[in-house]
Structure 1
Amino acid sequence: MSEELREDSMKDLLKDFDVKRIKSGDILKGKVIDVNDKEVAVNINYAFDGVISREELTNDDKSPLEVVQNGDSIDVYVISPNDGEGYVQLSRIRALQVTEKEDLKKAFESGNTINVIVKEEVKGGVVAYYGSMRVFIPGSQLSRERVDFKNFIGKELEVKLIELDMRNRKVVASRRVIEEEQYNNEKKALWSTIKEGEKREGTVKKILKFGAIVDIGGITGLVHMNDLAWERVKRVEDVVNVGDKVTVFVGNIDSENERVSLILKDVNQEPWKVHGDDIKVGEIIEGTVAKLVSFGAFVEIYSGIEGLVHINEITDENIAKSSDVLTVGQKVKVKVLDVNKNDRRISLSIKEAVERSTEYLQYNDLDEEVTLGDLFKGLFDN
C-alpha cells in the first residue's frame, strides 16, 4: 500500500472514531489498561492506545507495577502521536511537570498552601519536592522556633510559596509563615477570652531584675517584683526560676498593644484583708525591721504588712540615723500609733513600746529591783 493510501486510511479511521487529532505536547486524561515491569498501556479515548515506558513513568527507580495499576486514571503527555508501531508514545513524568507547574503558579498567586516531601539537607536549608518539582526551604523558614534540619528529612510539610521563578527554576517555600499565622490566630483568640482577675496556669520564661516573664499559653506577661509575694522580695530568684510552673492572676490588660500584667501572689490572701482588722491602735506587737531609711525604719508586723517608725519614734536619745540603733532583720517591739486601712498605712513607735513596758514594770510591785539597762536589754539586738 502506498504512503498516500495509508494516510487516507488513517484519516478515514480517525473520522470513524469521531475524535480530534492529537499532537505532541498535548496533555490528555487516560486510564491504565495494562501494566508490566517495562511499560504501561493507557486508553486515551483515541483510535490507538498509548504506551508509557518505565523511564517516562516516574523519576523513582520503581517498577511500573509499584506505581500504577489497572483502572487508574492518570494525566499523560503526548510525546509522539505515532511511535511507528500503532501506539501513541506518552509520558506521565512530563504531564506531571506541566500540571505541577500550573499548581505551583496557582498556589503562589492565591496564597494557598501545598504539601511537599523533604528529601535532603543542603547548605542554608532543605530541599523538598512537589511531585517532580524541586522546592527550596531556607533554614529560617522551616519553623518559627529553632530546629534541627535533619529532623525534617522524609517528612511531609504543608508550606506556602514565597518566591516563584519558573524560568530560572527557582521555587522557594516557607513553613514558618504558616506557623506564625496559626500562632497569631491562637494568640488573638486568647486575647479575646482573657479577663482581669482570673487565674491562669503559666511557665516562667525569663528572669529580669524587676520581675519575671511568664507564658500563660501563647501570651507572655510580666510579674513585677512587687507582685511576686506579699512580703518584701530582694531577688526574683528567691521566689521563682526559669521553667517553674506557676499559677498567676491576670492584672491589667492592654489588648491593643498586647501587654498584660500578672500577679503571682494570691489576691485572696492579701495581708490587709487577712490581718487588717487585727491591728488596733495602742497595742504592742513584735515585728521585724524590714528596711532602714533616712527618716526612720519600716517594721513588718505581719507578713506583707509594714509600718513606719519615724526616727523620732525610735528612741528618746538623739540619733542621726536609724542605723545607729537598728539593723535589718532585727526583732523589735512596737506600739501602733495610727492605722489607715484605706491607704494601708501604719504609724508605729518603738520608744512608746519601751515606755509601755516600763510603766508595766513600775505598776507591778516587783520584789527584785529592775534597772533601765535590764529593761532595754535585747530590745535592739539582732
Structure 2
Amino acid sequence: MTNQNIEESMGALLQDFDVKRIKSGDILDGEVIDVNDKEVTVNINYAFDGVIEKAELTNIDKDPREVVQQGDKLKVYVLSPNDGEGYVQLSRVKALEITEREDIKKAFNNDEVIKVYVKEEVKGGLVAYYGNIRVFIPASLASRERVILSDLIGKELEVKIIELDFKSRKIVASRRVLEDAIFENNKKELWKSVKSGEKRAGVVKKLIKAGAIVDIGGITGLIHLTDLSWGRVNRAEDVVKEGDKVEVFVGEVDAKNERVSLILKDINEDPWTTNEDKLKIGAVIEGKVVKFLNFGAFVELYPGVEGLVHINEITDENIAKPSDVLTLGQKVKVKVLDVDKTNKRVSLTIKDAEEKSKEYLKYNDIDDGVSLGDLFKDFFK
C-alpha cells in the first residue's frame, strides 16, 4: 500500500470515528503503553498511537527503559500525524523544550533553583541539561571549593540561572552562588554562637609575619605570634604549618566586624601561675638571654616567663650596650630583684648573682667539669 493510500485510509477512518484532527507542532498529553531499547509507544487518545524514537526521547544517551516506564504520563510534540506506517511520529524532546523554556525563564525571573544533569566537561566549564535544554556552567561557578570538574559528570546539581538569552542560545548557570549563600548563612549562625574563652577545632590556612590564620569552621581568626606558645616565638612556622589541625581557644570576638582572635597556647597553663612559687625576691635562677634592648636584656627564666636585666645590672663594668658582654642564647645566672605578678614583670640582676671574686668571674665561662682547684691552682703556688 502506498503512502497516499495509507493517508486516504487514515482520513476515512478519522471521519468514521469523528475524532479530533492533529497536526505537526501540536503538543498533546500522552501515556506510555510500551517501551523497548529503541522506541516508546504512546497512547495520545487518538485513532492511532504515537511513537517516540530514542533520539526524540531525551538528549541524554540512555536506554529508553531507563527514562520512562509503562503508565508514565508525559507531554509530546507532534512531528508528523503519519509516519507512513500507521503511527503518529512524536517527540518528547521538542515538547519539553517548550515547557522547559518556560520553566527556565520563570526560574531566572524569580531567582529560583533548578536541577540540571551534567553531561560533559568542555573548555572553560561543564555542559549540563535542564531536561533537554543545554546549560553552561563556567568552571569558576561549579563550586566555591576546588573541585575536579570531571568528577561532576553524570551528577545532578542544583543551580541558579544567572544569564539567559534564548536567541543566542546562551544559558549560564551557577552552583557556586548557592554554596556561597549557604556558607554566608552558616557563617552568620557561627558568629552568633562563637564565645570568648571556648575551645574549638581549627585548621591552619595561612602563615603570615604576625602569626597564623586559622579556620574554625567558616570563620577565620588570627593567632598572634605571642599566642602560639607561652615561650618566645619568632616565626609562626616554628610552631605550626599550613594544613595543621589544631585546638584553639577563642580570644576577643567582634561579631559586628567579623573579627576574632585565637589562642593556641593553653590558657589554663599560665607559666606565671605554675612557676609562682619559684619567683621569689632574692632567688637565683639560671636563664637564657633572648632579646636585647638599648637599656638592657631580656632573660627567659621559664617558657613564657621573662625578666629584664637593666644594663646597670649586667656588670660592674661600664658598657655601651648589653651585647658588649652578652650573646643571644647564652645561659646566665640571674637574681630576682622584684616581681610584679599583676603586670607580669620581673626585674633581674646578673652581677649580684655572680660570685664576687673577679678571678671566679674571669673563668666563669670555661666549660663545665673544670674544678675550682684547676681554676685557682696558680694562687696556691
Question: TM-score scaled by structure 1?
Answer: 0.83
- Give the partner amino acid of 2:358: L
Structure 2 contact 163–172 (Cα < 8 Å) conserved: yes
| Displacement after TM superposition at 1:268 (Å) | 0.7
Deviation digits for residues 184-210 of structure 1 (CA, Å, limit 9, x no counterpart):
222222222111111112221211122
| Displacement after TM superposition at 1:224 (Å) | 0.8
Query: How many angstroms apart in 2 are the aligned matches of 1:60 and 1:239?
Result: 53
Query: More displaced, 199-208 or 83-92?
Result: 83-92
Question: In the alignment, which residue of structure 1 is the partner of 2:119?
Answer: 119
Question: In the alignment, which residue of structure 2 is the partner of 1:316?
Answer: 316
Question: In the alignment, which residue of structure 2 is the partner of 1:166?
Answer: 166
| Displacement after TM superposition at 1:380 (Å) | 9.6
Structure 1 contact 281–336 (Cα < 8 Å) conserved: yes
Tell me whether 1:138 sits opposite 2:124 in the alignment. Answer: no
* CA distance 1:66–1:141, shift in 2 (3 Å): closer
Identity of aligned residues (%): 64
Deviation digits for residues 131-154 of structure 1 (CA, Å, limit 9, x no counterpart):
221111112111223333333333
* CA distance 1:80–1:311, shift in 2 (3 Å): same
Unaligned ranges ≥5, structure 2 = 1-9, 369-381
Query: How many angstroms apart in 2 are the aligned matches of 1:224 and 1:216?
Result: 15
| Displacement after TM superposition at 1:269 (Å) | 0.9
Query: How many angstroms apart in 1 are the aligned matches of 2:273 and 2:145?
Result: 44
Q: How does 1:308-347 map to 2 (within 5 A)?
A: 308-347=308-347
Unaligned ranges ≥5, structure 1 = 1-5, 359-370
| Displacement after TM superposition at 1:88 (Å) | 4.9
Query: How many angstroms apart in 2 are the aligned matches of 1:174 and 1:236?
Result: 38
Q: How does 1:82-93 map to 2 (within 5 A)?
A: 88-93=88-93
- Give the partner amino acid of 1:372: K
Tell me whether 1:350 sits opposite 2:350 in the alignment. Answer: yes
- Give the partner amino acid of 2:50: V
| Displacement after TM superposition at 1:108 (Å) | 1.4
- Give the partner amino acid of 2:167: R
Query: How many angstroms apart in 2 are the aligned matches of 1:315 and 1:380?
Result: 18
Structure 1 contact 333–379 (Cα < 8 Å) conserved: no
Question: In the alignment, which residue of structure 2 is the partner of 1:295?
Answer: 295
Structure 2 contact 42–52 (Cα < 8 Å) conserved: no
Q: What SS is found at the alignment partner of 2:317?
A: coil
Q: What SS is found at the alignment partner of 2:241?
A: coil
Q: What SS is found at the alignment partner of 1:308?
A: strand
Query: How many angstroms apart in 1 are the aligned matches of 2:283 and 2:58?
Result: 93
Structure 1 contact 247–264 (Cα < 8 Å) conserved: yes
- Give the partner amino acid of 1:349: T
| Displacement after TM superposition at 1:334 (Å) | 1.7
Tell me whether 1:202 sits opposite 2:202 in the alignment. Answer: yes
Q: What SS is found at the alignment partner of 2:275?
A: helix
Question: In the alignment, which residue of structure 2 is the partner of 1:245?
Answer: 245
Question: In the alignment, which residue of structure 1 is the partner of 2:149?
Answer: 149
Q: How does 1:1-382 map to 2 (within 5 A)?
A: 13-14=17-18, 24-35=24-35, 40-46=40-46, 48-54=47-53, 56-59=56-59, 67-79=67-79, 88-354=88-354, 357-358=355-356, 371-375=357-361, 377-378=363-364
- Give the partner amino acid of 1:272: W
| Displacement after TM superposition at 1:175 (Å) | 1.4
| Displacement after TM superposition at 1:87 (Å) | 5.8
Q: What SS is found at the alignment partner of 2:140?
A: helix
- Give the partner amino acid of 1:219: I
- Give the partner amino acid of 2:295: F
Question: In the alignment, which residue of structure 2 is the partner of 1:363?
Answer: none
Question: In the alignment, which residue of structure 2 is the partner of 1:364?
Answer: none
| Displacement after TM superposition at 1:336 (Å) | 1.5
Query: How many angstroms apart in 1 are the aligned matches of 2:63 and 2:314?
Result: 97
Structure 2 contact 52–92 (Cα < 8 Å) conserved: no
| Displacement after TM superposition at 1:155 (Å) | 2.6
Query: How many angstroms apart in 1 are the aligned matches of 2:291 and 2:34?
Result: 92
Question: TM-score scaled by structure 2?
Answer: 0.83
